[in-house]
């Protein structure tokens, strides 16, 4: 299978999942600057021109990180990257995947897109302030959870943790300071030391530069 990705983008969560699962894949870098996400081939995989895309050996393509990560986890159940189906922990996992996707991942979007939203500098600042305030409320919820558990779903690392790590890594570029959330900060440092995470970051850096 092939993973279409861009360095440090949300696709890194799927990339980490592949390395955590230890399954064979071909990483395919996609450069937005070179318009590689606008080619006919890529738009055939995802009409929105967005990564991640997972292309299977039979030619089928899967989009949407939350589906891709769960698909990857299902390819190697021994790696325990998703709690057992139909357990309460499984639905807790689904909750976090949805929370990260809709509340955190897309919560960062205004910070990247503010210059396209308005040319008015005051309005840009208001959008930034709103987005950061909104993110801080979400970080507080996560921080509280991590005061009780090592990972989002308890003691078991899941692909949701790689996803949260990925989107939180955007804080440094978008001037979001989460240091007051001590449990969250310690957790991110811990996840960032996982061999699969370190391997993914290095690989993306090498393939994209």
Ligand X SMILES: N[C@@H](CCC(=O)N[C@@H](CS)C(=O)NCC(=O)O)C(=O)O
Residue 66 CA to residue 106 CA, distance in Å, equals: 13
Choose the binding region for ligand X from 43-51, 133-141, 151-159, 189-197 (rule: CB under 6 A). Answer: 43-51
| CA nearest to 176, candidates 104, 117, 116, 95 | 104
Q: Which is nearer to ligand X, 49 or 154 (CB)?
A: 49
Q: Does 196 bind ligand X (CB under 6 A)?
A: no
Residue 72 CA, distance from chain mean position: 14
Of 2, 49, 71, 154, the one binding ligand X (CB under 6 A) is 49
Relative orientation angle of helices 121-146 and 106-117, to the nearest 10 degrees: 170
- Cα gap 194→196, rounded to integer Å: 6
Q: Does 10 bind ligand X (CB under 6 A)?
A: yes
For residue 168, state whether it binds ligand X (rule: CB under 6 A): no
CB of 53 to ligand X, least distance (A): 9
Choices 45-53, 54-62, 115-123, 195-203; region in contact with ligand X by CB under 6 A: 45-53
Q: How many CB atoms lie within 10 A of CB 150?
A: 16
Asked if residue 83 binds ligand X (CB under 6 A), the reply is: no
Note whether 8 binds ligand X by CB under 6 A: no
Q: Does 154 bind ligand X (CB under 6 A)?
A: no
> Toward ligand X, which CB reaches closer, 32 or 149?
32
Place of tokens 């930034």: 128
Binding mask 19-38 for ligand X (x = CB under 6 A): -------------x----x-
**9: contact with ligand X by CB under 6 A:** yes
Segment interacting with ligand X, rule: CB under 6 A, options 49-57, 130-138, 140-148, 185-193? 49-57
Closest to ligand X by CB, 52 vs 110, is: 52
Size of the site for ligand X (CB under 6 A): 12
Give the CB-side neighbour count of residue 162, counting CA atoms within 13 A. Answer: 34
Residues forming contacts to ligand X in the complex (CB under 6 A) are: 9-10, 32, 37, 48-52, 64-65, 101
């Amino acid at each position: 299978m092939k993973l279409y990705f861009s360095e440090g983008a949300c696709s890194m969560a799927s990339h980490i999942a592949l390395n955590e699962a230890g399954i064979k894949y071909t990483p395919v870098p996609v450069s937005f600057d070179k318009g590689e996400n606008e080619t006919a081939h890529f738009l055939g995989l995802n009409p929105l021109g967005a990564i991640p895309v997972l292309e299977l050996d039979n030619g089928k393509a899967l989009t949407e990180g939350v589906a891709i990560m769960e698909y990857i986890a299902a390819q190697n159940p021994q790696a325990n990257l998703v709690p057992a189906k139909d357990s309460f922990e499984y639905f807790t996992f689904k909750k976090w995947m949805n929370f990260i996707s809709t509340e955190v991942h897309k919560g960062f979007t205004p910070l990247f897109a503010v210059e396209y939203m308005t040319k008015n500098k005051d309005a840009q600042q208001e959008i930034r302030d709103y987005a950061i305030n909104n993110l801080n409320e979400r970080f507080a919820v996560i921080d509280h959870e991590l005061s009780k558990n090592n990972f989002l779903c308890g003691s078991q690392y899941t692909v949701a943790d790689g996803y949260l790590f990925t989107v939180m890594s955007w804080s440094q570029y978008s001037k979001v300071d989460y240091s007051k959330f001590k449990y969250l900060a310690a957790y991110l440092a811990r996840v960032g030391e996982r061999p699969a995470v370190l391997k993914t970051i290095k690989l993306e850096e090498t393939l994209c530069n």
